[in-house]
Amino acid sequence: MKFGGSCLINNHAFNKIISITEHYQSDQKIYVASAFNGVTDLLLKMAKAAENALDIDSHMALLEKRHFDIIEQIFQEESEFYLAAKDWVDENLSILENVLADIQEFGFEPYYQDKVISFGEILSTFILNQFLLSKGYDSIYIPANEIIITNDEYTNAYPYFDLTTSRMRNQIAPILEKPNKNLIICITGFIGRNKIGYTTTLGRGGSDYTATILARALSQIGIHQQIKVILWKDVDGILAIDPEFVPQSSLIKYLDYDEAKHIANFGAKVLHPKCLEAIEKLNIPLEIRNFNKPTEQDNFTTVSPKSDRDQIKGISTVQDGIIITITSGSLVDMPGILAKIFKVISKSNISVSLVAQSATEISTSFIVKKDDADIAINSLKNSEYFSEFFEIKFEEVAIINITGAKILDNQTKVRIFQAFAKRDINVKALSQSTDEINFSIVIQKEQLMDAVTVLHDDLCEEFASSKCEDNAN
């Protein structure tokens, strides 16, 4: 189970973790914790400001206060757990101070960033561990950098699954094989280490990923027949449509890995896309559950091999895209043009989302994030090849993604375009690769609200468990 920052905010929240622990009494449990809310951001700020020794003292004081405030709330004063937690914070903050001093002395490097931001999880997870002990549970704290081995890509490291599995086999499996069912292993989210032992981090929001990496390793070791990942969130699960567009949007109860990947990649920030890659091949189920409803029987999202494929699962949107279109009447059927376009874009380290080219090859359109657009356009315009033979245009757009196997059905597409026609919504570009259960439609940014609403209203019954009757209002 992974507990995010919003599950660790006060005494009330910590006590909910106890309710959850009781509810899952008969299961062996590993808890993965994120940093307390806002702490990773604060640490990141500190790492970046350290070079110029800016605000270190005030930030340190704030960091200490954030943790002490919670410690004061959740422990009985002067109890051994209270003291252990306070000592831990003090000790680690003084290690952090040394790292910040190193940054000031040697200059900022990416590995310092990971070292600094890892303290968020080191503090929160140890405090959770002490809290469980104080409530009479047997709990041990294990920093994930003893278990998760990654490559050297600081700030966005990728785990070596095999190396991680063998660490799990040596260090975690023996603990789980003990007969003590009441033992809870608390492992820091978000962090790992590379082969030479430096701390790495798995990318922002990476604690979800930690939980799935650990589940995958356990499943590979095979000591448990039934492994499940539960991500506790402050929402019921993944919604079919962002309630910003459709307030009565329904919860998606079942998604398979493929569907979940599409939905996680766009919009729905509830699930980190990397998580799915870790668990997919081993068919490990993942649940997204509301932290405020620990015993909920029905309303949560399960990602597993099981899904009703005769449905539209969800609509997600991208609101701030720029579509760049490159046109040439003279250079059709020339090999290598796409390679040239994307080489220019990738040199600027810009990620491209949707790509559309008509079979006549006269023009190619692709979408980049608004923040990247200026650089992308300028780098194309500054390249001799494109400035000479091509016309480059761009425009602000929104993307609508419709996910679910039902989209493979012609009739569904007919209904989509009929719905758009009713509201005069112009489709600017389209993309769907072969057999892909996702259809992306590019429209004018201003028409997004209208487009999503009409899709929901007109295709309502195609959605899983949708509340179509609400449309009458």
Contact set with Mg ion (CB under 5 A):
5, 34
Picked from ligand ASP, Mg ion, none, the partner binding residue 190 (CB below 5 to 8 A depending on kind) is ligand ASP
Helices (H), 55-147: 56-74, 80-106, 110-117, 119-134
- Min. distance of Cβ 342 from ligand ASP in angstroms? 29
Which 99-118 positions form the footprint of ligand ASP (CB under 6 A)? none
Q: What is the residue type of 150?
A: T
CB 208 within 8 A of CB 265: no
Select 5 or 237, whichever has its Cβ closest to Mg ion: 5
Which 167-196 positions form the footprint of ligand ASP (CB under 6 A)? 189-190
- Candidates 110, 205, 285, 294; binder of ligand ASP (CB under 6 A) is 205
Written as six digits, the tokens of 253 are 């109860």
Q: Name residues whose C-beta falls within 8 Å of residue 233's C-beta, 6 or more positions apart in sequence.
A: 4, 6, 270, 288, 289, 290, 291
- Candidates 33, 75, 120, 148; binder of ligand ASP (CB under 6 A) is 120
Q: E strands, 312-390, where?
A: 314-327, 352-357, 363-369
Place of tokens 């070596």: 160
Pairing verdict, β 191-193 and 138-142: unpaired
Can you name the residues that pair with 187 across neighbouring β-strands?
32, 142
Written as six digits, the tokens of 172 are 């975690």
Q: Nearest residue by C-beta to ligand ASP?
A: 207
Q: Does 207 bind ligand ASP (CB under 6 A)?
A: yes
Q: Does 159 bind ligand ASP (CB under 6 A)?
A: no
- Candidates 135, 204, 428, 445; binder of ligand ASP (CB under 6 A) is 204
Q: Report the 10 Å Cβ neighbour count for 19.
A: 12
**Stretch of residues binding ligand ASP (CB under 6 A), selected from 34-42, 293-301, 318-326, 403-411:** 34-42
**Stretch of residues binding ligand ASP (CB under 6 A), selected from 198-206, 234-242, 355-363, 449-457:** 198-206
Picked from Mg ion, ligand ASP, none, the partner binding residue 204 (CB below 5 to 8 A depending on kind) is ligand ASP
Picked from Mg ion, ligand ASP, none, the partner binding residue 267 (CB below 5 to 8 A depending on kind) is none
Select 211 or 227, whichever has its Cβ closest to Mg ion: 211
Select 5 or 314, whichever has its Cβ closest to Mg ion: 5
Q: Could you give the C-alpha distances from 161 to 143, 144, 218, 451, in angstroms and in order?
A: 17, 14, 11, 42
- Min. distance of Cβ 271 from Mg ion in angstroms? 14
Round to whole Å and give the CA distance between 146 and 151. 14
Residues that bind ligand ASP (CB under 6 A): 4-5, 34-35, 40, 120, 189-190, 204-207
